[in-house]
Chains A and B, each alone.
Chain A
Amino acid sequence: MSQSRRIGAIYRKELTDILRDRRTLIAMIVIPVVLYPLLMIGFMRAAEGDEARIRAQQFIIEVDNEPTRSELEQVLSQYSQDMLKQGEQGPKFKVLVGHTSGEELGDEVQLRVVLGQEDTDSYLLRRRVVRIMYNEVNVFSRTAMQELSGVFDRIGEFLMRQYLRDNLGDTISGVPAERGIELILEPIVVDTKSTATELQRGGWALGQIVPFILVLLTITGAVYPAIDLTAGERERGTLETLMAAPVPILQLIVGKFLVVATIGMFVAALNVVSVGATMHFSGLTQAITSELPTRLPASALLIILFCMIPFALLFSAILVAVCSFARTFKEAQNYVMPVIIGAMIPAMVVVMPSIRLEGIMLVVPVANMVLLVRDLFQQTATWTMVIVVLLSTTLYAIAAVAVAARLFGQEAVLFADAGSYKTLFRRSLFPPLERPSISQALLLAALLFPASFYAQSLVSGVSQDNFVGAMSLFALVQFFLMFMLLPLCLAGYLKIDVVRTFRLRWPGKARIWLAVLLLGTSSWVVAHQFLLLQSEYITPSKALAESLETLEAKLAEQSLWVILLLLAVVPAVAEEWLFRGFFLSGTASSLKKWSAIIMVSVIFGIYHFLIDHILVKALLGVLLAYLCWQTRSLLPGIIVHIMHNGWVLILSRYPDLASRVGLPEDSNVAQAHLPSHIQIPAFIIFVLGVIILMTIRDHKTSLVPEGGSG
């Protein structure tokens, strides 16, 4: 039976099972559809009513003596009458003589006021001082202070106008008095005008709120099914029977993970729609932020729904992984809390406008998704961002699923009597392995990914000054330490057979060497033409053109041997070691031949962060992985890889040579079609190489030469 049918069976069963649970239904439907809108409306109404009530009440002001009371009373009553004449209701104050101390101001007496006068040199120009004492932690006292200050601000302005009118005559510098007074009172007018459209403003406001809500809602929806399907299964005693069924653990976990993701997405979608509708129909949108347009564009909803998918996939995968470790429901709940908090913190970065989606942020889990949602709303996202973020999120999700499968099947996790968790990490108890498991491979891929991204973005910044130095450092850090030493150490720690995993074997057959020669000579032509073909459909990114130009300029200055070593040999050896060594061996331990080859090749493509190169590198990855699979050795791949990189470098380094083989002299090598006398033979040679590879004995399920369990 196909894997997908079995996963489908698990998916259907788990979905039926969980949807029949009343608790799920309450969490999924009742809470978002009924409870949230009620809570929101109720809360807003209560808040509005409360504020109106406070403002409508009569505020009590205390003063020291009767003359002050009388003066203040008179001013305020005059003000009230003036306001009434203009058809407005001013605040209500009652002035009393009293001696309430400053700390006691609050519910009973809101303010103490002292009226004074500033000492000035002029008899005529004197300024009154109104000292208002209030208690800022008391809402009544604070509101009373705001209202009273407002009153005196308006009285002050009135007095000023009156003074000017009395002293300046009918005209002021040739303009009528009223206009002149306006000009004096406001000598500079600052008029700001935002050029953002209503849509953009709405996007900006939504971008601040929605990502955070999405994180919260997706997690809320996914938590219960994640626990129920893993730890719950164990607690109910159904796990042992399930594990005894002839289903690979990875398929079990994938089926369960898809159910969690479905429910997470559904709950989040329902929440978004419910909250959106509540805000729309109750007029709460304006209450929350004045920047939101009165009607949200349909595209906003589409963006939200689109972003929910990777969110749900990532969180479901992480939650399933975490809960797979738990033996009981309660234990799982304890593990879930830190995950939620861990997701909330990066989700909060969006409120910091200075953090942009660039550099390392592109690959930081959760934070990159949150920033992407923000940028999508603000319409500043580029396709590169979308692809890098989505691919990296997918990679993390796949790694989390693989880890979940690993944990789910562990004896110590499966049976309480099979030893403690501590034994999971004790090396002496690890059984020796022929090759890494798929979860180990994918976890390493997910962990190395942001590190490699960071290394590449660093080197692209440094290489301007000292090219060879920067490339050497890069070769040391990324290729030697990260791509070679790390997997080697990991293999040593996990007691993995290094010779088999990295396929350290001499491919004896002459046919293999012939294939290597043919493919190594021709693959660059195929890749070159493919890139050109791709550029007809997808406009090449600026970043690509810039980086190629910089690279070519740098190459021209260096010795060919240094270039070949740093840009052909070292990357070829290291990438074959990691991708066709550790990763391909790992994925091959659980997947069939072509699934394993394609998965590793996609990862290989994603690791080349230049968006234009992802597809062509993935295809090159397929060729190299197939080569490795057929020959059961890493060496042929290394040589083809070196030759592939080498040809491109040589032609870029020596433009003369390029023109001699028939390329237009003045054109950029990377952007010119190769002449047919190169193209046609190269394609024939390439196809011949592949045919020879196909004739080598096919190892359908196993990469291991002999005695493999496959």
Chain B
Amino acid sequence: MIEVYDLVKTFPTAEGPEKRAVAGLSFRVAPGEIYGLLGPNGAGKTTTLRILSGLIGPTSGRAVVGGIDVTADMLTVKKSIGFMTAHAGLYQRLSPRELLMYFAELHDMDYLTAHRRAGELIDWLEMGDFADLRCGALSTGQRQRTNIARALISNPPILIMDEPTLGLDVLTNRLILDFIRRERDNGKAILLCTHYLDEAETLCDRIGLLHQGQLIAEGDLQSLRRQSGCERLTEIFLKCVGQSGAHILETGSLFSEDPKA
């Protein structure tokens, strides 16, 4: 569903050398799988997600989403993706229901289908109480549920989510995580970035650890434990990030096993 080969993205800077945000990244996300892309701030997670959602173009390498190269046909790629950013704003003066209907129209959905789909999402994400209030009046949790519903309005086969549970209370957190699992069980390919490692441990089927734009470890939790000798993902993560950059550059991997294998 998502295939990334040797992806590179550099950003020009006005002052001098280019900033290399993604430096030769490769991974795959299969349908019915939740793939967690983890890494410290500035590791290149958000840039990777933006390339996959067709917002920016890669400098080199290939990103294929739903069988289509993102550089070849961004519009078709965008149609097959539900994209949720970390700090997504909402239109303050629209209600969640109006917002969902708007994005449904942008996704070419006809009115009846859109209306039904919006109703379903409002039920599933327990948004009934606030679906017709203005977004400006919503709490953080309500806003985040609205955002998830917006990303899913077109029922896309692929979900790309940046920090879906950022700043949420326990109840909303559980609601959203259950919802993501449910979407996975429905066969969607889900790529998500998160800083909550405990959450990633329980949620993700496979995990990729990103550091300085490169994947330094990848696999399911068991294999990461095996490779690193650590039990908790937090320890694995700290071990990765704590390693010197030179070692990573030299071997291309934090651990002895090839992460791309």
**Contact surface of A with B, Cβ cutoff 8 Å:** 1, 5-6, 9-10, 13, 16-17, 20-21, 236-238, 240-241, 243-248, 411, 414-415, 417-423, 426, 429, 431, 709
Q: What string of 1s and 0s marks CB contacts (under 8 Å) between B50-76 and chain A?
A: 100111110000000000000011011
Decide: B93 and A246 in contact? CB cutoff 8 A. Answer: no
Instruction: Say if the beta carbon of B173 comes within 8 Å of chain A.
Output: no
CB-CB under 8 A from B130, the residues of chain A are: none
Decide: B106 and A9 in contact? CB cutoff 8 A. Answer: yes
Instruction: Say if the beta carbon of B81 comes within 8 Å of chain A.
Output: yes
Decide: A246 and B83 in contact? CB cutoff 8 A. Answer: no
Interface residues of B in 23-41 (CB under 8 A from A): none
Decide: B12 and A238 in contact? CB cutoff 8 A. Answer: no
Decide: A17 and B78 in contact? CB cutoff 8 A. Answer: no
Decide: B56 and A418 in contact? CB cutoff 8 A. Answer: yes
Q: What string of 1s and 0s marks CB contacts (under 8 Å) between B118-154 and chain A?
A: 0000000000000000100000000000010011000
Cα separation A248 to B54 with both chains bound (whole Å): 12
CB-CB under 8 A from A245, the residues of chain B are: 78, 103, 106-107
Interface residues of B in 219-240 (CB under 8 A from A): none
Q: Choose the segment among B84-92, B207-215, B241-249, B250-258 that binds chain A (4+ C-beta atoms closer than 8 Å).
A: B84-92
CB-CB under 8 A from B83, the residues of chain A are: 241, 244
Contact partner of A240 (CB less than 8 A), chosen from B12, B79, B88, B134, is: B88
CB-CB under 8 A from B85, the residues of chain A are: 237, 240-241, 244
Instruction: Say if the beta carbon of B202 comes within 8 Å of chain A.
Output: no
Main secondary structure of the interface of B (DSSP, over half): loop
CB-CB under 8 A from B75, the residues of chain A are: 246, 248
Instruction: Say if the beta carbon of B185 comes within 8 Å of chain A.
Output: no
Decide: B107 and A246 in contact? CB cutoff 8 A. Answer: yes
* 29 pairs, A vs B, C-beta closer than 8 Å: A6-B106, A9-B102, A9-B105, A9-B106, A13-B91, A16-B98, A17-B91, A236-B89, A236-B91, A236-B92, A237-B85, A237-B88, A238-B90, A240-B85, A240-B88, A241-B147, A244-B81, A245-B78, A246-B75, A246-B108, A411-B57, A415-B55, A415-B56, A418-B11, A419-B11, A419-B14, A419-B19, A420-B13, A431-B57
CB-CB under 8 A from B108, the residues of chain A are: 1, 6, 246
Decide: A419 and B92 in contact? CB cutoff 8 A. Answer: no
Instruction: Say if the beta carbon of B168 comes within 8 Å of chain A.
Output: no
User: Closest CB-CB distance, B248 to chain A, in whole Å?
Assistant: 23
Q: Known: A1-B108, A241-B150. Contact between A429 and B12, CB under 8 A? A: yes
Contact partner of B89 (CB less than 8 A), chosen from A16, A238, A417, A431, is: A238
Decide: B88 and A238 in contact? CB cutoff 8 A. Answer: yes
Cα separation A524 to B87 with both chains bound (whole Å): 62
Cα separation A417 to B44 with both chains bound (whole Å): 12
Cα separation A419 to B21 with both chains bound (whole Å): 11
Closest to A240 in B: B85
Instruction: Say if the beta carbon of B203 comes within 8 Å of chain A.
Output: no
CB-CB under 8 A from B134, the residues of chain A are: 20
Cα separation A656 to B252 with both chains bound (whole Å): 85
Decide: B14 and A423 in contact? CB cutoff 8 A. Answer: yes
CB-CB under 8 A from B177, the residues of chain A are: none
Contact partner of A414 (CB less than 8 A), chosen from B55, B76, B98, is: B55
Instruction: Say if the beta carbon of B166 comes within 8 Å of chain A.
Output: no
User: Closest CB-CB distance, A354 to chain B, in whole Å?
Assistant: 47
CB-CB under 8 A from A6, the residues of chain B are: 105-106, 108
User: Closest CB-CB distance, A328 to chain B, in whole Å?
Assistant: 13
CB-CB under 8 A from A415, the residues of chain B are: 50, 55-56
Instruction: Say if the beta carbon of B197 comes within 8 Å of chain A.
Output: no
Closest to B21 in A: A417
Closest to A20 in B: B93
Cα separation A265 to B78 with both chains bound (whole Å): 35
Decide: B55 and A243 in contact? CB cutoff 8 A. Answer: yes
Q: Known: A20-B93, A243-B55. Contact between A237 and B78, CB under 8 A? A: no
Decide: A13 and B107 in contact? CB cutoff 8 A. Answer: no
Cα separation A422 to B15 with both chains bound (whole Å): 10
CB-CB under 8 A from A5, the residues of chain B are: 105
User: Closest CB-CB distance, A434 to chain B, in whole Å?
Assistant: 12
Instruction: Say if the beta carbon of B94 comes within 8 Å of chain A.
Output: yes
Interface centre among B55, B73, B150 (most CB of A within 10 A): B55
User: Closest CB-CB distance, B94 to chain A, in whole Å?
Assistant: 6
CB-CB under 8 A from A421, the residues of chain B are: 14
Cα separation A208 to B150 with both chains bound (whole Å): 52
Decide: A423 and B106 in contact? CB cutoff 8 A. Answer: no
Decide: A423 and B57 in contact? CB cutoff 8 A. Answer: no
CB-CB under 8 A from B57, the residues of chain A are: 411, 431
Closest to B162 in A: A240
Decide: A426 and B12 in contact? CB cutoff 8 A. Answer: yes
Q: Known: A9-B102, A244-B81. Contact between A411 and B13, CB under 8 A? A: no
Decide: A420 and B107 in contact? CB cutoff 8 A. Answer: no
CB-CB under 8 A from A411, the residues of chain B are: 11, 56-57
Cα separation A104 to B238 with both chains bound (whole Å): 85
CB-CB under 8 A from A13, the residues of chain B are: 91, 94, 98, 102
Q: Known: A237-B88, A238-B91, A240-B88. Contact between A709 and B73, CB under 8 A? A: yes
CB-CB under 8 A from B94, the residues of chain A are: 13, 16-17
Cα separation A16 to B147 with both chains bound (whole Å): 20
CB-CB under 8 A from A414, the residues of chain B are: 55-56
CB-CB under 8 A from A422, the residues of chain B are: 14
CB-CB under 8 A from B13, the residues of chain A are: 419-420, 423
Decide: B54 and A244 in contact? CB cutoff 8 A. Answer: yes
Interface centre among A1, A13, A237, A422 (most CB of B within 10 A): A13
Cα separation A240 to B89 with both chains bound (whole Å): 9
Cα separation A241 to B78 with both chains bound (whole Å): 11
User: Closest CB-CB distance, B161 to chain A, in whole Å?
Assistant: 12
CB-CB under 8 A from A241, the residues of chain B are: 83-85, 88-89, 147, 150-151
User: Closest CB-CB distance, A20 to chain B, in whole Å?
Assistant: 4
